[in-house]
Structure 1
Amino acid sequence: MKRWQMILFSLLLLLTNFTPAFAHFSEGTKVRTLLVSREGDTLTVYVRVPAPLVFSDLVGRSQVEQVPLVSPFLRLEQNPDGERYRVDLGAIDSNRSAFENRLRNALVFSQAGLALPVEIIGFTVHASRPDQDIDTAVAAQSALSEAFPNEDPLFGTAVIDYALRLESSDPTGVLQVQSGYAPLIPGPGIAIDNHLVDARITPPVSTTAPGQLEEPARFDGSRLSTFLHFIHQGTLHILEGLDHVFLVIALALGVGATRRLIYLVTAFTIGHSVTLIATFLGATPSWPWFIPLVETAIAASVLYAAIAAMVRKSGSVIVFAAIGLLHGLGFSFVLADILGRGAPDLIPALLAFNIGIELGQLIILAVTLSIVLLLRKTAEPALQPLRLGALSGIAILSAWWVIERLPGLLISA
């Protein structure tokens, strides 16, 4: 093996020790939903939030200082697996005003830099996230009318619905929201997303914001900004997803800047567009082994693309259309996390997300082919060793992902 290949082999073998397999779907994704509606000059905000985010300041302090989590509304219990917390429904019911105060201060709403007065108009606690999203004011009001569970729910799975009334001098203007509490440390495998639904206009418009709202998020009623937001999300997802990036790089290195590349990329695009839309709209099985199977197959498709490129046989249009179908499933899993299937403006969001994926794909192709062109003009002897080294590294890493994902598939089967 030549020196360039040995160097790239070593670097990518090292990378396999530190880079986890990219997962498109995580059961650890926690979603907070905020829906704002208008009645005259009064704004009503409906919030559905995982319980730990309502206590994020206390949880964060406990994590940093390594001390027990203390709140009058949480109860520590012992079980065979160790300690865990439950939401103390009796304490909440006996001291509703103090609990409402915690809810009131969990989020800060403002317009033109001025905080808006907030009044709690109702709340309830669920043992887990309800199946019905609060995608309309009617759905949110219905959820608020539900009674507490029969027993204290686990703190990590409990969800709180509550409603706030805001007095605004500009009820149709831009509304900002930000966390009122310090953030907690989510932990490995946990992601936090916020679904923001602006129902002040008809039909409503929805967008998303990542994290714990340490920085303000906006309700601006703009369909254009929402469309651009999901283009950004699509581009970001493919650029951050190593499996997708490596597939496109392998395709470019295998075919080069030829007409055949256009055919194969078009087939891949059509394939992932079909399954992205169909899967997101619910046209896929709900078997527990389905998602692990897709993730493993995606890794195998990258391995195939790398090996095929090394032997200069990158497959047919039909093969890459099939690979596109697989990757579209992966795209749909992540879009379901960041958007939710109950979003009111689902079709524009799907279209924008797909456009973003295509932009990201074009960026990867442009960068890869530009590097190849530059090497061909300035260091022709190094081009082939570097090409084979890169493809070998991609093959090794994707083979590692297949091995890493197989146990999850076998367990769920």
Structure 2
Amino acid sequence: MRRADALPARSARAAPAVLVLSAALVGPAQAHGVAGGDAAFLETATGVHFWPYLYLGAKHMFTGYDHLLFLLGVLFFLFRLKDVAIYVTMFSIGHSLTLLVGVLSGLRLDAYIVDAIIGVSVIYKAFDNLGGFKSLLGFSPNQKFVVLSFGLVHGFGLATKLQDLNLSSDGLVPNMIAFNIGVELGQLVALAFILTALQAWRTLPGFGRQAALVNVLVMAAGFALVEMQLTGYWSGA
């Protein structure tokens, strides 16, 4: 996996890529979570509702800016479709497992702490893309294990959003399976956009220098996510 080696100075050529990234993240950030009419439906629905749950799963992942930031970091320097498939599969296995286990078993974790760790996952991947671990440790940790591990955390992040709602036990298992399928479909749609944008960007001159700047911004976004969640945790403690 190739990585950017040094931080570039801010340049005019980097501006379009930064603007595209910012525009892609600001809109979804406003819609993240399960609220409003979606929450009202989930709390009043009884029995099996396969298609609505599938739709809501896809919507949740596609508007999950924290999940998308992590996936952007994972895909940033993957150039072969085989590698993309492997890493996306590892992430999917992780978040599917903890999403289903968290909701169906009733295992609860503090939502603020889980989302703070998700923010750490964004920081971790951007820092790794910048060659940080290789500089500090002389090697980069096993990325497949890292992606699987953080996938487990991201799954709990999805589960906590549903655990905050009073879901009916009638039809819960098929509904959760549908929701998880929807999450996977939403992830595939998001990945298609991300990969298409990355592929076009990689053909432009100066991609390596611009990529370092964008990863710095992604890492900064991760720190902002952590700060926001920890502030919520301590204010509610």
- Taking only the aligned residue pairs, the percentage that are identical comes to 24
- In structure 2, the residue matched to 1:392 is 216
Describe the SS at the equivalent of 2:40.
strand
Distance 1:18 1:361 in 2: 17
Q: CA deviation at 1:364?
A: 2.1
**Could you tell me which of 301, 305, 316 is aligned with 2:125?**
305
1:247 aligns with 2:70: yes
Distance 1:371 1:7 in 2: 12
1:319 aligns with 2:143: no
State the Cα deviation string for residues 239-278 of structure 1 (Å, max 9, x = none). 1111111111111113233433322221211111111011
CA contact 1:296–1:402 (8 Å) conserved in 2? yes
Q: Structure 1: which amino acid aligns with 2:158? A: F
State the Cα deviation string for residues 96-148 of structure 1 (Å, max 9, x = none). xxxxxxxxxxxxxxxxxxxxxxxxxxxxxxxxxxxxxxxxxxxxxxxxxxxxx
1:236 aligns with 2:55: no
Distance 1:408 1:351, change over 3 A: same
Distance 2:82 2:228 in 1: 36
List aligned pairs for 1:86-235, cutoff 5 A.
193-194=40-41, 195-197=43-45, 204-205=47-48, 226-235=49-58
Distance 1:291 1:23, change over 3 A: farther
- In structure 1, the residue matched to 2:173 is 347
Q: Which has the larger radius of gyration?
A: 1
When the two structures are superposed, what TM-score results if normalisation uses the length of structure 2? Answer: 0.76
Q: CA deviation at 1:348?
A: 1.3
State the Cα deviation string for residues 62-98 of structure 1 (Å, max 9, x = none). xxxxxxxxxxxxxxxxxxxxxxxxxxxxxxxxxxxxx
- In structure 2, the residue matched to 1:158 is none
- 5+ residue gaps, structure 2: 1-8, 135-139
Distance 1:393 1:366, change over 3 A: same
CA contact 2:118–2:154 (8 Å) conserved in 1? yes
Q: Whose relative contact order is higher, 1 or 2, with alpha carbons under 8 Å and at least 6 apart?
A: 2
- In structure 1, the residue matched to 2:4 is none
- Structure number with higher strand proportion: 1
Q: Structure 1: which amino acid aligns with 2:123? A: L
Distance 2:20 2:197 in 1: 19
When the two structures are superposed, what TM-score results if normalisation uses the length of structure 1? Answer: 0.46
Q: Structure 1: which amino acid aligns with 2:187? A: Q
- In structure 2, the residue matched to 1:79 is none
- 5+ residue gaps, structure 1: 32-190, 199-203, 206-225
CA contact 1:13–1:397 (8 Å) conserved in 2? no
Distance 1:240 1:319 in 2: 23
**Could you tell me which of 83, 107, 112 is aligned with 1:292?**
112
1:372 aligns with 2:198: yes
CA contact 1:277–1:332 (8 Å) conserved in 2? yes
- In structure 2, the residue matched to 1:268 is 91
Distance 1:14 1:359 in 2: 22
1:362 aligns with 2:188: yes
Q: Structure 1: which amino acid aligns with 2:89? A: T
List aligned pairs for 1:391-410, cutoff 5 A.
391-410=215-234
Describe the SS at the equivalent of 1:255.
coil
Q: Structure 1: which amino acid aligns with 2:120? A: A
Aligned pairs, how many?
220
The Cα RMSD (Å) is 3.4
CA contact 2:53–2:175 (8 Å) conserved in 1? yes
